[in-house]
Amino acid sequence: MTDRDNLLKILQAHGEKFMSSFTDPSVEFPQAQVEKSSEYTEDEEEEEEWGGIQGSGSEGESEEDEDEAGSDFEHTDDEFVQGSSSSTTQPNVIIYSESKTQTKAVRTSKAFMSSKISKLGQDPTLNKGKSSLAAAGEEDKNEQSNIENDAILHRLIHTKLLSGSLNSELDLTHAQRQKALSGRVLELAGGAKLGLGEKSVRKDERNKMSKKVRAGLVSKEKEKQKARIEEAKNLGNYHPGLKRLFEDPLYENKPKKRQRGLQMGVGKFSGGTLKVSRNEISMVQGQGRSTGRRAGGSSSGRGRGRK
């Protein structure tokens, strides 16, 4: 009896030592298993006493009982250890990050196996529903209407608001009013852009002046253009890409396209051949005839002088 009690105490101490290794030392063993083992020892004592009453000569039976008792003890020992391990509360382990394989959508797998290469570049996460399509359609309509309104406003400004010929309140002379009216007519006829009709009329009038006056007007216009660019630079509104906005399109000198290859006085060289028009041929023939007449006239003149 004393040996078994000692074994139980040793097992209990070992279990407490094992549980003390965890963070929660306040775990206690269940009392049900201990009570079960104590009840088992009391039953075993009664069996031993009953064996003594039957007779003292049956030593083999007593040994067999002891063996069975030992085996039962081992069985209860296993149950005790297993019960203690299963009934004790284990500490909760929280995993904050865990690698997971991202499951691909069915649409991506179908697009990968599809014969159309264009489907591979499509992102299934950017699928738009009917609401998004409707919103995009409304935005397109609004943008189109804004563009149309801008065109109407541009036409209104350049035809009615800034046209001096239609505004009777402006104190314009007859010449200024006539130029504005002729410029407006030129714009309606398509000869000039909106807002540039009056300038084109003034340019045509300047071309009728002498070369010295025209050169002075052109130089004055270039000085004004440089002044506008300098003012924009000082205000911080200038960029090399916006230089064309400060230039006057009427005074823009377009570079002439140079013809590659040999340039002769007559004809046009293109595609490895010299193309000569009929007018050029007649001009050459006329020059030859004139030289012959001049020669004949000179000879007759000499003869007359001699006479």
pLDDT averages per 10-residue partition of the chain, 307 residues: 81 84 54 51 56 47 50 46 52 64 61 60 56 78 88 75 59 80 82 80 86 88 88 88 74 62 69 84 69 48 49
Distance CA 12, CA 81 (A): 9
Distance CA 10, CA 26 (A): 19
Mark whether 218 and 192 lie in a shared domain: no
Mark whether 189 and 214 lie in a shared domain: no
Helix, strand, or coil here: 270?
strand
Prediction pTM value: 0.31
Number of separate domains in the chain? 3
Among 67, 87, 107, which residue terminates a domain?
Answer: 87
Q: Is 270 within the bounds of a domain?
A: no
Residue 81 confidence (pLDDT): 46
Residue 29 confidence (pLDDT): 47
Mark whether 177 and 237 lie in a shared domain: no
Residue 18 confidence (pLDDT): 82
Q: Which domain holds residue 35?
A: 2-87
Q: Diameter of the chain by CA atoms?
A: 197
Mark whether 61 and 31 lie in a shared domain: yes
Among 71, 87, 103, which residue terminates a domain?
Answer: 87
Q: Which helix (DSSP H) or strand (DSSP E) does residue 14 occupy? A: helix 2-20
Q: Is 115 within the bounds of a domain?
A: no
Q: Is 13 within the bounds of a domain?
A: yes
Q: Is 109 within the bounds of a domain?
A: no
Q: Is 223 within the bounds of a domain?
A: yes
Q: Which residues contact 201 (CB under 8 A, 6 or more apart)?
A: 179, 182, 183, 186
Residue 120 confidence (pLDDT): 54
Q: Is 107 within the bounds of a domain?
A: no
- Check: CB of residue 251 under 8 Å from CB of residue 218: yes
Distance CA 180, CA 106 (A): 70
Distance CA 287, CA 305 (A): 27
Q: Is 29 within the bounds of a domain?
A: yes
Residue 19 confidence (pLDDT): 81
Q: Is 38 within the bounds of a domain?
A: yes
Residue 13 confidence (pLDDT): 87
Among 87, 102, 123, which residue terminates a domain?
Answer: 87
Helix, strand, or coil here: 73?
helix
| Beta strand ranges found along 48-156 (DSSP E) | none
Distance CA 250, CA 186 (A): 15
